[in-house]
Structure 1
């Protein structure tokens, strides 16, 4: 089922797939952080290399790993160009960070990832029955993400179509609060955002809401699923923005951008993301999942007026609440020190670091047994946890294509869509242009995977 690359893997094959090469790949693979390992033995006394970001494995954690496992971690900065060079030279890191939603199928289709099912089967730390369903983002059967062998695991996650809102902003404008258990529609969300905007002397002082997803690929795919369809055809080799469901999602997002109720590619947030803007009281609603509660909780006044609400739905559509990230780690097929790498994998995902992450409120733990560690001491934490636990019932994996990186899709979308965001072209014209440029890239990607 899985296309075989093995020793014939070439730099061109990787780089040509990422629409703009290494630079395009870098942003795509940036989300949350992971670890990598490089060595040649099986456990204590060994050294592994982890290709991760600095905050994925701090110097303190490296010391703790040595103390807890006897294994030395050598951290290498995550870099797509360097990763491709290491993979193609046959000397990869032992563990690599990636974003489960957008990267797992991409790398699995290129046959560079180790299948981890045999390791899970023998592990006393990471048991398959304890894995949260979000870890299915790291499965790929050669056709569909979410099925087949496991190639990695998420370190924590959120249901990223949920949104936070500030009750003080709603009170000021006399807008009813969204329910914390029953979803409002996308149409209602946008109406609220229009009512919540505060402007003074031609300047926006408080944005009504932000709704951009983690990447345009995950945003469009999950919104199309919420409309009852799929952004891709059956074998994930083509997108079609002209189907009724994809067109509904695209129309909504163009309306959101055009109304300028919040940040978008044509009106970027000067802070680069919602967090500081929401913290400053200048954003009434933020499309960020549970993870942002970690930041909100550091400001008790803000925490008292913040609420977490379910992912919106389209009227008549299914209730979909996906994870658009699921950052974690994978083990290259040609890693030199797989046993030691697996031991660090177990430690990172199931022992001290996992417990610390779970209790911090920056994400939902990906082992069900760690959920009791999620913060629930304060009233606001209890309320957030109740909303989140209710939403977990509506989680599903929205499968993405293995033929394009999230970043490549993003750059193509952002080249074509601003004309639609500004209302200069119709949604139908935009849909045709997006199909043209993205399907050309998907065609190349499919040819290169073989």
Structure 2
């Protein structure tokens, strides 16, 4: 293993602590480096305890029991909390593994020097082979400048191409709206036109949303839309945003039009269910900008599943065809973790053994190991149809790099403070673009100064 300077319990410097806590939702602690334990041979870890900070659905009690049986390792779970994570790290007692969203967390944490470089672990693993890793795992790479290159700092447990959308053919037929093509993308303008025609209202209330298109979080949705329009939301060094470029302005204008027309949920028209799943299952949402993973829920409704279809990510006229993953949720290992060898054994098991096979066969996401794709549900004709569309879309995946200088949640909060006026027609999109540049670039400037 590469040498690491400093003891695992070394306190976090004040400057690094401020860099983590000031940006809001991000973690970590910086830490002078420490000496990693030997890479697991695949048999180590028995009798050890591994602390995993995660959300309840990530590591269930059943998985804790299964880990004890399969590995002889006791997993202790800690509820995911940024505040708790920073506290644990600054006290020199971080979790052994931490939940993260690769698309936005990996560059943020890696730039703050709090993540363990996992390349030596992957190199020594017989479970997680590099030639078996789906390209989506490149979201967890960062070379000190750009996401998608350099060392691996984590891995996604499963994924979707989150600009794809599901649609309900029954609601399309009821409204007399033509179905989207199976493997050719519609334009974003066509998508919005269909959403307008599919929306149903009664007594001033929306009874059926024509379509939902909010992505995972607005900042990385807008970054993806800008790339689809042919540009980049961020400067080359990721230290600034510019919503006034033609491509970013096009992306922002389209999203504000979506909100203004009230064809789907937004900040100014919240979904009472808070997310698309229950609304789609209730036949109150004609199109849902949720990738493949939503099929895990759709397949539980034997009437809805056969009339549901998955469609490619839309394109902008004259833009690029891109189909990114805006999440890539998985796990990473803190640099100052005390039990790295056993943690890696849990990592291998979670991402490459029984839990990974169970996730793949459930249809709640695309496996991040190519060798597990054969387990994706394909028993029913409608599942085969979905797989055909999904498999064709895989070749359009690319990593859309996110800034390391601000947490996505902090940029999301700034957007939510300013954008509603534009969504209500009280502010022009050009004015909104200028104001977003001002407040977000101030945040990014502070973040860059803290990272150094």
The residue aligned with 1:362 is 364
Q: CA deviation at 1:13?
A: 2.1
Mapped contact 2:18–2:450 kept (Cα < 8 A) = no
Mapped contact 2:366–2:373 kept (Cα < 8 A) = yes
The yes-or-no answer on 1:292 pairing with 2:294 is yes
The residue aligned with 2:337 is 335
The yes-or-no answer on 1:16 pairing with 2:18 is no
Secondary structure, counterpart of 2:303 in structure 1: helix
Q: Distance in 1 between matches of 2:55 and 2:255?
A: 31
Q: Distance in 2 between matches of 1:88 and 1:134?
A: 31
Q: CA deviation at 1:8?
A: 2.4
Q: Distance in 2 between matches of 1:180 and 1:342?
A: 41
Q: CA deviation at 1:56?
A: 0.9
The yes-or-no answer on 1:247 pairing with 2:249 is yes
The residue aligned with 2:204 is 202
Pick aligned residue for 2:173 from 163, 171, 174: 171
The residue aligned with 1:30 is none
Task: State the Cα RMSD in Å.
Answer: 1.5
Q: Which structure 2 residues correspond to residues 201-240 of structure 1 after superposition, within 5 A?
A: 201-240=203-242
Secondary structure, counterpart of 2:22 in structure 1: helix
Secondary structure, counterpart of 1:301 in structure 2: coil
Aligned length: 429
Q: CA deviation at 1:219?
A: 0.6
Secondary structure, counterpart of 2:304 in structure 1: helix
The residue aligned with 1:102 is 104
Q: Distance in 2 between matches of 1:243 and 1:209?
A: 27
The residue aligned with 2:34 is none
Q: Distance in 1 between matches of 2:396 and 2:135?
A: 11
Q: CA deviation at 1:367?
A: 0.2
Q: Distance in 1 between matches of 2:72 and 2:250?
A: 54
Pick aligned residue for 1:420 from 419, 422, 425: 422
Mapped contact 2:20–2:26 kept (Cα < 8 A) = no
Q: Distance in 2 between matches of 1:84 and 1:236?
A: 24
The residue aligned with 1:150 is 152
The residue aligned with 2:57 is 55
Mapped contact 1:98–1:104 kept (Cα < 8 A) = yes
The yes-or-no answer on 1:262 pairing with 2:264 is yes
Gaps of 5+ in 2: 28-39
The residue aligned with 1:409 is 411
Q: Distance in 2 between matches of 1:13 and 1:323?
A: 27
The residue aligned with 1:183 is 185
Q: Distance in 2 between matches of 1:372 and 1:64?
A: 23
Q: Which structure 2 residues correspond to residues 362-381 of structure 1 after superposition, within 5 A?
A: 362-381=364-383
Q: Distance in 1 between matches of 2:280 and 2:60?
A: 27
The residue aligned with 2:397 is 395
Q: Distance in 2 between matches of 1:196 and 1:43?
A: 55
TM-score, normalisation: structure 1: 0.93
Q: Deviations over 1:322-381 (max 9, x none)?
A: 000000000011111111000000000000000000000000000000000000001111
Moved over 4 A (4+): 4-7
Pick aligned residue for 1:125 from 127, 141, 153: 127
TM-score, normalisation: structure 2: 0.93
Q: Distance in 2 between matches of 1:431 and 1:79?
A: 32
Q: CA deviation at 1:25?
A: 4.8
Mapped contact 2:26–2:105 kept (Cα < 8 A) = no
Q: Distance in 2 between matches of 1:172 and 1:82?
A: 50
Secondary structure, counterpart of 2:149 in structure 1: strand
Q: Distance in 2 between matches of 1:363 and 1:13?
A: 33
Q: CA deviation at 1:285?
A: 0.4
Q: CA deviation at 1:265?
A: 0.7
